[in-house]
Amino acid sequence: MNEKLRQWLEGCALAPGLLGGGVRLPDGNIVGHSFNENCPLDRFEEILRCLVDSQPAFSNHGLKPRWLTWIFEKTQIRLAQRADGLLLGLALQSNSPAADNLDLLTEEFLNLDLTH
Amino acid sequence: MKVAATGRKTQFEKVTTPAKQLQILIVDDETTFLETVRALFTAWSKNNWNIVSANSADQALEILKTHQFDLIVVDVNMPVLDGIQFLRILDRRFPDVKKAAITGYASEEKRSACLANGAELFIEKPRSAEGLKSIFVMLEELVTWKQQAGFQGMLRQVGLQDVIQMECLGRNSSILEIRNRQLTGRIYIEDGRIIHADAGDVKGEPAFQKLLSLHGGSFQLLHFEPPNEHSIEGQWEFLLMEAARVRDETAGESPATEPEAEPEFSARALPPDMTASENSVRLAETLIGGSQGRILYEWQCADATARVALLTEIERLAARIGRVLPLGKFDRLEIQLPAGRAVAQFKLNRMVFVQVLTEGGNP
């Protein structure tokens, strides 16, 4: 995993309310981090894998999402895909600072310069 | 046989009447089209449809003096008195008869005009027998849906709550005017937030709950104008859920005490131009689905069946990931698009899909 991307992902943990974060790399591997004991890494990665697999369904229906937000009663899951194929997944508590800054975090990921 | 709609207490139910022959009037100046349709629809309905045809609006009015119909199908492009004018007359004289508009040259203006003047379906004339079969199926669906005591609003079985939900999900700004014989009230929605309601002397949330607890009347969407005050701050989802709870609690009360529905129709369609907010965002597509993938209402869906399939897939996926972690009840999926956004929401046995685009944007 790109060092800059790893640092950025770990930095996400600073946002209160973030439960887990992960990236699906272009080779198909998923690298995840759990930031909360209520969101075990294996479970989070399973969810991420499941959502990643569902991505083509949207383009098959004529939708080209910049990002998706799955909103549950207590939790939100954000999925965003970059042009280079990197795909970000974030799980966070609703009504938390992380939720308030979710669009900002996503834009950061989408515009992250990983060439250096 | 009655097939009650599933889910929460619903205002509508599907009724089929095998014993009674349905009376259908088709008004079109194209004799060949009339003859074809008459032959095919009679056969497809297995003689359950008695089709009467008229070549002009005035001939149809003559027939209507002596015959009662369940459905009137009107060609939009007729000489002398065109279909839109004719629909307006029909809607005043025969508000309870279902009406459909058909045209060889569809446009958004015609569609809006037809729906605003009482048509419940707007159909483009097909160029093949298969297309005619689709039209027959749509008309049959329309004519066999019977509106129960409840609100006359929009299309078929879509209710007041659905309209509010669509307006909020689409982050639209509008005023929903609700009236029956005893009460008139307004709900103000600004950028998808319910900001004010008044009903007689009552304001705020009590007014909102009162309006949504009414069991009869009519409603229409008006262009947004700021209210004199903001009396509601709660999230629309909770307001609607509370309204559903109140409505369920009062549902057992005697219907005899309920006011009768207004005899006159209000504008029943949701005119697309009224859904466009002022910040150059336009509603691009709307779909409301019921249980088992039934389409209750759709507007500008290129392929409504495919949309329902996508919604079903989203719901299935949400259930699947909800089993991996305790995420709580699934509410909605928000889809950020390059030039707009879409929302798919699931609650109360309804799935709602709304897509809004910034001006000039494509999905």
Q: What is the pLDDT of residues A60-98, one digit of tens each?
A: 898 999 999 999 988 999 999 998 889 999 999 988 888
The model's pTM is 0.54
> Under a CB-based contact definition with an 8 Å cutoff, are residues A95 and A74 in contact?
no
> Under a CB-based contact definition with an 8 Å cutoff, are residues B332 and A71 in contact?
yes
Sign of CA dihedral B62, B67, B72, B73: negative
For residue A6, the model assigns a pLDDT of 86
Interchain contact B238–A (C-beta under 8 A): no
Spatial separation of the C-alpha atoms in residues B195 and B170, rounded to whole Å: 15
The minimum CA-CA distance between A68 and chain B, rounded to whole Å, is: 5
B4 versus A112: the higher-pLDDT residue is: A112
CA distances, B363 to each of B52, B172, B197, B357 (Å) = 43, 18, 34, 7
**Inter-chain CB proximity B325 and A43 less than 8 Å:** yes
Interchain contact A42–B (C-beta under 8 A): no
Q: Is pLDDT of A23 > 90?
A: yes
> Under a CB-based contact definition with an 8 Å cutoff, are residues B67 and B16 in contact?
no
Residue segments in chain B with a per-residue pLDDT below the cut of 50: 1-18, 147-157, 254-279
> What ipTM was predicted for this assembly?
0.94
Spatial separation of the C-alpha atoms in residues B125 and B144, rounded to whole Å: 21
The distance in angstroms from the start CA to the end CA of chain B is: 42
| Strand ordering across the sheet containing B22-27 | B49-54, B22-27, B71-75, B98-103, B121-124
Alpha-helical segments (H) within A13-116: 41-60, 97-100, 102-111
Question: Considering only CA atoms, which of B63, B6, B52 is closest in space to residue B25?
Answer: B52
Strand partners, B55: none
Contacts 24+ apart (CB under 8 A), B108-115: B108/B272, B110/B76, B110/B84, B112/B269, B112/B271, B112/B272, B112/B273, B113/B84, B114/B76, B114/B83, B114/B84, B114/B87, B115/B155, B115/B268, B115/B269, B115/B270, B115/B271
Interchain contact A43–B (C-beta under 8 A): yes
Using a CB-CB distance cutoff of 8 angstroms, which residues of chain B are in contact with residue A110? none
* pLDDT tens profile B159-191: 677 778 878 877 778 888 887 767 889 999 998
Using a CB-CB distance cutoff of 8 angstroms, which residues of chain B are in contact with residue A69? 333-334, 336
> Under a CB-based contact definition with an 8 Å cutoff, are residues B221 and B178 in contact?
no
Which tokens sit at B247? 């409505």
Q: What percent of chain A has pLDDT over 90?
A: 47
DSSP state letter for A3: H
Half-sphere exposure of B351 (CA within 13 A, CB side): 22
For residue B51, the model assigns a pLDDT of 93
The minimum CA-CA distance between A37 and chain B, rounded to whole Å, is: 12
Backbone angles phi, psi at B86, to 5 degrees: -65, -40
For residue B107, the model assigns a pLDDT of 77
CA distances, B111 to each of A35, A99, B76, B120, B299 (Å) = 53, 41, 10, 10, 11
**Inter-chain CB proximity B334 and A69 less than 8 Å:** yes
| Strand ordering across the sheet containing B2-4 | B2-4, B12-15, B145-147
The minimum CA-CA distance between B288 and chain A, rounded to whole Å, is: 17
